[in-house]
Chains A and B, each alone.
Chain A
Amino acid sequence: MNFDFSDDQKMLKEQVRKFLTDKCPYTVPRRILNGDEPYAKEVWKGLVDMGLTGTAIPEAYGGLGLGALELCVIAEELGRAAAPVPFASSVYLASEAIKLFGTEKQKETWLPKLAAGEIIGTLALSEGTHAASPRNIATKFAGGKISGEKLPVPDGDVADVAVVVVNSGGSGDQAISLAIVDLKGAGVTREVLRTIDPTRSQARITFKDAPAELMGPAGQGWSQLSRVLDGAAVLFAFEQVGGSEAAIEMARDYSLERYAFGRQIGSYQAIKHKLADMYVKKELAKSNAYFGAMMLNDEGAELPEAAAASRIAGSDAYVFAAQESLQTHGGIGYTWEANTQFHYRRAKLLALVVGSTVQWKEKLAARLEAKNAA
């Protein structure tokens, strides 16, 4: 039984944690929250300088040639710090999608730049306030051009390239393809959206006859997308575990220093049991995420179930930890000055960013139903 990360992977995690502790204390997301910068450029540059944007990109395309497990430990630390950087969009979504499904030429064109952090990538899927499905993707691909509107697109305001989920004609799942679009090219307009978590930016992107290239043969997009989202769900689950730990620590520390009715509020069982529940959910999320990591790294047959379980447990743990951490702080936790808000906002953002748990639970139930077919 070796269900743990290796010593090298743990060392990488420590390195990332040390960097983020030094360079990304809560004053950094606060600066992004209060100002107009889309993300913390100096933190991003630091991550790029450490080579982290190329972690899981093969050496042939300028990356470090490591695997999913290394990305997982990085993700956990980014989540812990609630780091305001476009890492997830560029790495878990765009780079992974291109690595998995791009043509040789597309990989040669985009991966070295993504690995080197010279450009930022993203995935454009959602088209408004409803869950995407093969039947409702309205962004059209025809004759090497796309037209339509995507929102919210994570880091869509700063991204240079997007993998766009498009309708390329045909019916059912076969109507969907993935297309690469150079967002600096013609026919692309963008607008920053007001969102629940201003420390991570989201945009509306309007495509009007924007030049686009399909990734692989037309009609494979929906299953390609499922695979990309499964991988991202696992990586986001590690961010959620890291975020949960930070929110729990914040609540614990406050409960020890705050006195009410003559004693530490952390000595009341109402608070202790709340924190115990936060811890229990976090550990369940972590254990599920570990299996997700293993399936992702091995391209295991159980990746879809493992990814769904990682996502459901991760979202549940982080949303609960962030909400109850703020609650534990009482009134001070609801002020603009308090740091509790970073996790309150980020937890809900992450719980929605690659699809809500409502969707993932249905996906999981369908898989289990098929698997347990009589």
Chain B
Amino acid sequence: MDFNDTPEEAAYRAQVRAWLDKNATRRSEAKDAEQAKTLEELLKRSKEWQAKKAEAGYACITWPKEWGGGGGTTIQNVIYGQEEANYAVPGGVFAIGLGMCIPTLMTWGPEDAKQRYVKPAVRGDEIWCQLFSEPAGGSDVAGLRTRAEKDGDEWVINGQKVWTSGAHYCDYGIVLVRTDPTVPKHKGLTMFYIDMKSPGIEVRPIKQMSGDANFNEVFFTNVRVKDSQRLGKVGDGWKVALTTLMNERLAVGGSQGNADVAELIKLARDTEIDGKPAIANGAVRERIADWYVQAQGLKFTRFRTLTALSKGETPGPESSISKIIAAKKMQDLGSFGMDLQDMGGIIRDRKISAEEGAYTEQWLGAAGYRIAGGTDEILRNIVAERVLGMPQDVRVDKDLPFNQAPKGK
């Protein structure tokens, strides 16, 4: 057992590092002034960086070269990600498009659409979003109600999507709609790709509980798409959507917040309980130990996954546990960091709050993280069903025509 790269991996890592050194600034040397101040600036920088990566074969590393990818392996992709994380580079705006939408287009799209859209997306010229969730369909996405009705060789879309990341700056999207409400819910769906500038599309930002606005509502009023923009057959939308969703949990995972155990130990030294350093308190020490064990467990679970990738094997189901643990830990640790600041934990001010407000921000943010990309509860269903082989819950709407199934408002 060791954590070392194979000779091939080490060579690739060295090559990546040399390229990054030449083309980017290390995080430790980056100045605040270098951060993008506006969305326009962020998009411009992101696109420039993505084009550079594409030219060097570091965009979509695992995709074939003829589609603009790097023709590399999964472990190379992981290595690049590890190395890039040490540099101050703009990121994030392409994650959903390249992680979910374009793979769906590549699997199900007509040849001319692939020729037209894949390479520009890889180069970052065009950005894509994913339009699945609706007010009436979150965990139960297939319960969505946005309608598309056939009109000649076009479809007319009416309805509303929600939680659409980046809809306000995206060029294209893939949208899942109901084309037949008279059949059971999974059978009446169809997938299209769509120009986000189409007449009848209105994007409104959602203000989150934290006060930020990272997501949007997207309203469709008589939006027309051509039948040639259909991905997969009419009524096969659910099957197509599974291609997209399979990639989602890979795209979401990861984040554990900015404050972790090392920061908490520091805070526990700097704060007091009953006139003594908080770090001397048994309840505090127990939590430190527990979260350390969780953090290590997550880290080494990731290492087990990487080992499988490194050997060219498919990772085992253990990788599915990460978000269940990480999101709740992020919330609880944030909350406890606020407790240690006692009444001062009420304050939300980077200049006053401990660790520049990291505890407060991750406590606020974790509430969303526990829901995004599969709620804690849905993820437990997935572990139970796909890993442990347990049956699905009874679904009362499974065999009913969608328009006769019980619904809320």
Contact = CB atoms under 8 A, between A and B. Distances in A.
A60 B58 CA distance: 53
B279 interface: yes
Nearest to A372: B265
Contacts of A267: 390-394
A2 B310 contact: yes
Contacts of B324: 276, 280
**Which interface class (under 10, 10 to 19, 20 to 34, 35 or more) fits B?**
35 or more
Interface in B231-270: 261-262, 265-266, 269
Interface stretch (A228-236, A281-289, A340-348): A281-289
Interface string B109-142: 0000000000000000000000000000000000
Contact of A284 (B321, B383, B392): B321
Interface string B48-73: 00000000000000000000000000
B342 interface: no
B81 to A, nearest CB: 13
A275 interface: yes
A287 B297 contact: yes
Contacts of A66: none
Contact of B304 (A4, A255, A273): A4
A59 B394 CA distance: 59
A129 to B, nearest CB: 20
A323 interface: no
B391 A266 contact: yes
A368 B262 CA distance: 8
B285 A365 contact: yes
A368 B297 contact: no
A306 B300 CA distance: 11
B273 interface: no
Contact of B390 (A1, A256, A277, A361): A256
A280 B304 contact: no
Interface in A253-272: 255-256, 263-264, 266-269, 271-272
Interface in B262-299: 262, 265-266, 269, 279, 282, 285-286, 288-290, 292-294, 296-299
A2 B383 contact: no
Contacts of A288: 293, 296-297, 300
Contacts of A1: 3-5, 9, 75, 303, 306-307, 310
B377 interface: yes
Contacts of A276: 324, 379-381, 383-384, 387-388
Q: Which of B262, B293, B325, B392 has the most CB of A within 10 A?
A: B293
Contact of B306 (A3, A255, A309): A3
A2 B304 CA distance: 8
Interface string B370-409: 0000000101110111011111111000000000000000
B392 to A, nearest CB: 7
A284 B390 contact: no
A362 interface: yes
A71 to B, nearest CB: 14
Contacts of A313: 293, 297
B262 A372 contact: yes
A279 interface: yes
Nearest to B285: A365
B8 interface: no
Interface string B315-329: 000100100110000
Nearest to B277: A369
Interface string A172-201: 000000000000000000000000000000
B335 interface: no
A67 to B, nearest CB: 10
Q: Which of A3, A252, A288, A374 has the most CB of B within 10 A?
A: A3
B307 A362 contact: no
Contacts of A4: 1, 304, 307-308, 311
B265 A273 contact: no
Interface string A310-339: 001100100000000000000000000000
B2 interface: yes
B377 A269 contact: yes
A316 B308 CA distance: 26
A64 interface: no
B304 A284 contact: no
A69 B1 contact: yes
A275 B381 CA distance: 10
Contacts of B300: 3, 287-288, 290-291
A283 to B, nearest CB: 5
Contacts of A364: 289, 292-293
Interface in A21-68: none
B312 to A, nearest CB: 12
Nearest to A278: B388
B378 to A, nearest CB: 10
Contacts of A279: 321, 383, 387-388
B384 A365 contact: no
Given A3-B3, A252-B388, A374 B318 contact: no
B1 A2 contact: yes
A294 interface: yes
Contact of A3 (B1, B390, B391, B394): B1
Interface string A190-222: 000000000000000000000000000000000
A70 to B, nearest CB: 12
A316 B303 CA distance: 21
Interface string B171-198: 0000000000000000000000000000
A5 interface: yes
Contacts of B294: 284
Contacts of B353: none
Given A273-B377, A309-B296, A290 B394 contact: no
30 contacts: A1-B75, A1-B303, A2-B4, A3-B304, A4-B1, A4-B304, A4-B308, A252-B390, A266-B384, A267-B390, A273-B377, A273-B384, A279-B321, A279-B388, A280-B321, A283-B301, A284-B293, A284-B297, A284-B298, A284-B301, A288-B293, A288-B296, A290-B304, A309-B297, A360-B289, A365-B286, A365-B288, A372-B265, A372-B266, A374-B266
Interface of A: 1-5, 69, 248, 252, 255-256, 263-264, 266-269, 271-273, 275-277, 279-280, 283-288, 290-291, 293-294, 297, 305-306, 308-309, 312-313, 316, 360-362, 364-365, 368-369, 372, 374
Closest 7 A/B residue pairs (Cβ): A284-B297, A272-B384, A287-B300, A365-B285, A361-B289, A276-B380, A276-B383
Given A276-B381, A284-B301, 4 more contacts: A1-B4, A266-B390, A279-B321, A287-B303
